[in-house]
Amino acid sequence: MTASALTATVDLDAIANNVAILRAASHADVLAVVKADAYGHGAVPVARAAIAAGAAELGVAHLTEALDLRAAGIDAHITSWLHAPSADFAAGIAAGIDIALSSERQLAAVVAAARESGTTATVSVKVDTGLNRSGVAVDEWQSFTESLAKAHAEDAVRVRAAMCHLVRGDEPDHPLNDAQAARLDAAVADLTRAGVAPEVVHLANSPAALSRPDLARDLVRPGIALYGRTPLPDRGDFGLIPVMTLSAEVALVKKVAAGQGVSYSHTWIAPYDTTVAVLPAGYADGVPRLLSGKLSVRIGDQDFAGIGRVCMDQLVIDLGPDGGGVREGDRAELFGTGAHGGPTAKDWADAIGTIDYEVVSGIGARAVRRYTGSVAAELGVDDGSGQDRR
């Protein structure tokens, strides 16, 4: 195994495990959400692993993300649901991407692109059932439906799915979940009456997929659970396995005398003669500066506290007076599965008042993605050299 200074190890067997758990819990097919470079894990290998493990489809936000997956040779059904006016719908149509629409303006642009190329665009309808973010707004719904029926009648579009996104999926028993599902079902009835019945319907994100099988229609649309982070910590881990382990090579070990300060502004002063280590991971790599003084790393079976400021490229840990037997070149786990103790992405999130979604998706491009697991070998993404995801 070739070492790299900073490594995000991505366990593709864990992806396979998590797909199986999501299918079993939801009794539905899985549309694996691989937006934002698969929440920082690497979109192409994760997409391949998810499909190999039985996920039916893929989903991303930007069309450019969908086009990148196609360019990598992934021929699965891909839905893309966030479009700005500059979006290249013609390219999306040419690549056979399912374009989820949030407005009549988007529909008109897609229809124009479809006419231009003389083809039929595959579209889905993103219904705003209460999130008031993306999705067709309530006041536009009727005229949107009429325009969609017209576009369908002239073969400019084929309507694949109706979808919406939950406001409070992470509160499974909240009545808003049921209200949103009812609004989506009503929208499907409207579309059906207009002659544009969707082929499939989906609304459940990770927490709903795991806890509300009654909300699953044809597909569930999980992101974070695919990556093995429980979306409902109070209800346990559901058997999910965390996919990403972030580790750094100890770059430098040195003595610091009692009374000396460490890192910018000397926010940590050595209370005793000690030994410190420098790790090549900083806020530019996604280690939040807010974690200064609040993180610990695991080396072997010992935990060591981060001390002083987290810098752009590096952070410092205290090895204690005896140095803990740590040597330059040893590997420090910044976060991992937590299965044998050791820090997790959730520990980081809790320490700074955010969610683990932000932690894993924020791990930067300098962390070399290394793909492991039997699936990795089968998919040819495990070349043993710490393959970069780009």
Q: Which is nearer to ligand PLP, 330 or 358 (CB)?
A: 358
Interactions with ligand PLP, residue window 27-46 (CB under 6 A): 33, 35
Supply 202's token pair: 């989906």
Burial of 154 (C-beta count, 10 Å sphere; 0-12/13-18/19+): exposed
Closest separation in Å from C-beta 35 to ligand PLP:
6
Backbone dihedral angles phi then psi of residue 158, each to the nearest 5 degrees: -115, 130
Supply 363's token pair: 């791990």
Q: Which is nearer to ligand PLP, 144 or 304 (CB)?
A: 144
* Total number of residues that touch ligand PLP (CB under 6 A): 12
DSSP run (H or E) holding 89: helix 89-94
Given 124, 206, 275, 292, the residue binding ligand PLP (CB under 6 A): 206
Q: Which is nearer to ligand PLP, 126 or 370 (CB)?
A: 126
243 binds ligand PLP (CB under 6 A): no
User: CA 352 to CA 359: how far, in whole Å?
Assistant: 10
129 binds ligand PLP (CB under 6 A): no
223-242 mask for ligand PLP (x: CB under 6 A)?
Answer: xxx-----x-----------
Q: Give me the DSSP letters along 34-74.
A: -HHHHHTT-HHHHHHHHHHTT--EEEESSHHHHHHHHHTT-
Closest separation in Å from C-beta 331 to ligand PLP:
29
Given 48, 160, 165, 217, the residue binding ligand PLP (CB under 6 A): 165
Do the beta carbons of residue 314 and residue 251 sit within 8 Å? yes
Do the beta carbons of residue 20 and residue 228 sit within 8 Å? no
Q: Could you tell me the sign of the dihedral formed by the alpha carbons of 360, 385, 32, 13, in that order?
A: negative
Closest separation in Å from C-beta 20 to ligand PLP:
16
DSSP run (H or E) holding 186: helix 175-193
User: CA 390 to CA 385: how far, in whole Å?
Assistant: 14
205 binds ligand PLP (CB under 6 A): yes
Given 4, 81, 187, 212, the residue binding ligand PLP (CB under 6 A): 81
Do the beta carbons of residue 81 and residue 117 sit within 8 Å? no
Closest separation in Å from C-beta 87 to ligand PLP:
16
Q: Which is nearer to ligand PLP, 61 or 149 (CB)?
A: 61
Q: Which is nearer to ligand PLP, 90 or 167 (CB)?
A: 167
Do the beta carbons of residue 316 and residue 280 sit within 8 Å? no
User: CA 193 to CA 189: how far, in whole Å?
Assistant: 6
221 binds ligand PLP (CB under 6 A): yes
Closest separation in Å from C-beta 121 to ligand PLP:
19
User: CA 50 to CA 44: how far, in whole Å?
Assistant: 10
User: In this chain, which stretch among 153-161, 219-227, 323-331, 375-383 interacts with ligand PLP, using CB under 6 A?
Assistant: 219-227
Closest separation in Å from C-beta 206 to ligand PLP:
3
Interactions with ligand PLP, residue window 96-125 (CB under 6 A): none
222 binds ligand PLP (CB under 6 A): yes
Q: Could you tell me the sign of the dihedral formed by the alpha carbons of 230, 234, 239, 243, in that order?
A: positive
Q: Which is nearer to ligand PLP, 208 or 307 (CB)?
A: 208
59 C-beta neighbours (distance < 10 Å), count = 25
362 binds ligand PLP (CB under 6 A): no
User: In this chain, which stretch among 15-23, 47-55, 217-225, 323-331 interacts with ligand PLP, using CB under 6 A?
Assistant: 217-225
Closest separation in Å from C-beta 100 to ligand PLP:
8
Closest separation in Å from C-beta 3 to ligand PLP:
31
Helices first, then strands: H and E counts in the chain: 12, 19
Residues acting as catalytic residues? 35, 264
Q: Which is nearer to ligand PLP, 44 or 360 (CB)?
A: 360
Q: Which is nearer to ligand PLP, 224 or 277 (CB)?
A: 224
Supply 6's token pair: 């900073």
The binding site for ligand PLP (CB under 6 A) comprises: 33, 35, 81, 165, 205-206, 221-225, 231
